[in-house]
């Protein structure tokens, strides 16, 4: 049987099996090292290890050194990431500016602002554009799996090279909880670099604003953080953090008590963690309570967004430009009838104008 045929069958099994347990079918690495042949007749294996490693790294770069882990059809699959994780929202804000208005409707930009993939909205659009057939072909052509299926020795070398060079991305809490708690992937015990995009239902619990569903999500988030803190090989974790509801975004800048506090990291996780927050980098006094959390972790302030998607309005896909006073720490003007702190109210039509001829 050809390697391609084995590869296709294995990829299909990983993708479709609803009871796939990686730990039960992953080969024992120790036994594989002992039984692996030296492959002395192979031209590739006759090269020095440094050259073989460089070849592997070129293959990973072509396949994408940043890979999304997707929970799909009861199993896991991967997809090349096309987003620069550590970036600001400038491109998306510029798309809003291009409308030239303080209040407008745009379904594409609205979905991007509200994307459940967080700052990886471009990756979400790419995933949605792929049909089932294209997904199957993409899985069967994985450069990672192709090389790892050649022989035991190459599997061992590729495995080590992948963990050293590939950054894995998780963009939702359900997948993160699945790979770290419910159906823990063996790769999580070896992964070095991890990017996470998380939108959490953070509200002020002191005002009884948290729903039971929101509290349940925060409990799951804490379980994820606890599991990540147990991974001994992690070298860097980059967390893009935001709220599910844009109107509550300012709460991220405040240290909350109880279940709504998302900053629950142990010493191990905090030592390798960078948290990307929607804060003004020029106003560190606004988020000093977050910076003072122990154990300390790195904070990257990506800037306060100047536009916000609206929810629950009669006009779908509405986006408004925020007033400067909406930014945490900005001076608050007195409220005047007909205004809010997030932006101007749309002028009312005069009675009798509609239908006037």
- Domain with 49 in it: 3-84+121-301
Q: Nearest-5° angle of CA 22, CA 25, CA 29?
A: 95
What is the chain's mean pLDDT, rounded? 81
pLDDT, tens only, 238-285? 999 999 999 999 999 888 888 889 999 999 999 999 999 999 999 999
In a domain, 109, yes or no: no
225 close to 265: Cβ distance less than 8 angstroms: yes
Pairing of strands 103-105, 318-321: antiparallel
- Say if residue 295's pLDDT is above 60: yes
- Say if residue 333's pLDDT is above 90: no
Confidence of residue 339 (pLDDT cuts 50, 70, 90): low
Report the percent of the chain where pLDDT is more than 70. Answer: 77
In a domain, 27, yes or no: yes
Q: What is the pLDDT of residue 336?
A: 62
Confidence of residue 167 (pLDDT cuts 50, 70, 90): very high
- In whole angstroms, what separates CA 78 from the centre of its chain? 13
Residue 356: CB atoms within 10 A of its CB come to 6
Exposure on the CB side of residue 190, measured as CA atoms within 13 A = 12
> pLDDT: is 313 or 296 the higher one?
296
pTM: 0.80
Tokens representing 351?
Answer: 């009675």
In a domain, 168, yes or no: yes
Q: What is the pLDDT of residue 355?
A: 37
Task: Choose among 341, 8, 17, 23: nearest CA to 182.
Answer: 23
In a domain, 97, yes or no: no
Sign for the CA dihedral angle at 310, 311, 313, 314 comes to: positive
- Say if residue 31's pLDDT is above 60: no
228 close to 188: Cβ distance less than 8 angstroms: no
In a domain, 59, yes or no: yes
Q: What's the number of domains the chain is made of?
A: 1
Lowest mean per-residue pLDDT among 14-23, 37-46, 100-109: 14-23
In a domain, 332, yes or no: no
Cα separation, 211 vs 230, in Å, equals 30
DSSP 241: E
Confidence of residue 40 (pLDDT cuts 50, 70, 90): low
Cα separation, 74 vs 335, in Å, equals 51
- Say if residue 75's pLDDT is above 90: no
In a domain, 62, yes or no: yes
- Say if residue 356's pLDDT is above 50: no
In a domain, 70, yes or no: yes
Cα separation, 140 vs 130, in Å, equals 14
pLDDT, tens only, 210-225? 888 999 999 999 999 9
Cβ contacts of residue 10 below 8 Å, gap of 6+? Answer: 145, 149
């Amino acid at each position: 049987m050809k390697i391609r045929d084995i590869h296709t069958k294995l990829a299909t099994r990983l993708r479709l099996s609803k009871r796939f347990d990686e730990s039960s079918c992953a080969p024992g690495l120790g036994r594989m090292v002992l039984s692996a042949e030296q492959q002395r007749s192979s031209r590739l294996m006759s090269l020095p290890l440094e050259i073989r490693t460089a070849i592997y790294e070129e293959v990973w770069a072509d396949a994408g050194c940043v890979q999304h882990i997707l929970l799909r059809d009861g199993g896991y699959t991967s997809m090349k990431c096309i987003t620069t994780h550590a970036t600001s929202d400038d491109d998306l804000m510029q798309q809003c500016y291009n409308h030239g208005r303080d209040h407008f409707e745009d379904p594409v930009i609205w979905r991007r602002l509200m994307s459940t993939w967080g700052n990886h909205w471009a990756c979400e659009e790419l995933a949605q554009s792929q049909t089932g057939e294209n997904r199957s072909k993409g899985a069967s052509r994985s450069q990672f799996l192709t090389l790892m299926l050649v022989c035991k020795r190459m599997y061992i070398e590729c495995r080590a090279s992948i963990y050293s060079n590939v950054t894995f991305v998780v963009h939702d809490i359900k997948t993160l909880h699945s790979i770290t708690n419910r159906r823990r992937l063996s790769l999580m015990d070896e992964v070095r670099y991890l990017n996470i995009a998380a939108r959490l239902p953070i509200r002020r619990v002191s005002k009884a604003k948290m729903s039971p569903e929101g509290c349940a999500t925060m409990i799951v988030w804490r379980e994820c953080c606890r599991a990540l803190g147990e991974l001994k090989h992690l070298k860097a974790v980059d967390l893009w953090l935001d709220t599910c509801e844009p109107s509550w975004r300012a709460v991220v800048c405040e240290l909350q008590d109880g279940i709504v506090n998302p900053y629950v990291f142990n010493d191990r996780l905090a030592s390798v963690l960078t948290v990307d927050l929607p804060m003004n980098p020029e106003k560190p006094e606004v988020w000093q309570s977050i910076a003072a959390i122990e154990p300390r972790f790195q904070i990257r302030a990506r800037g306060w967004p100047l536009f916000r998607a609206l929810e629950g309005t009669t006009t779908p896909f509405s986006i408004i430009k925020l007033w400067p006073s909406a930014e945490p720490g900005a001076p608050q003007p007195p409220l005047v009838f007909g205004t809010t702190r997030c932006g101007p109210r749309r002028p009312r039509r005069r009675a009798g104008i509609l239908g006037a001829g």
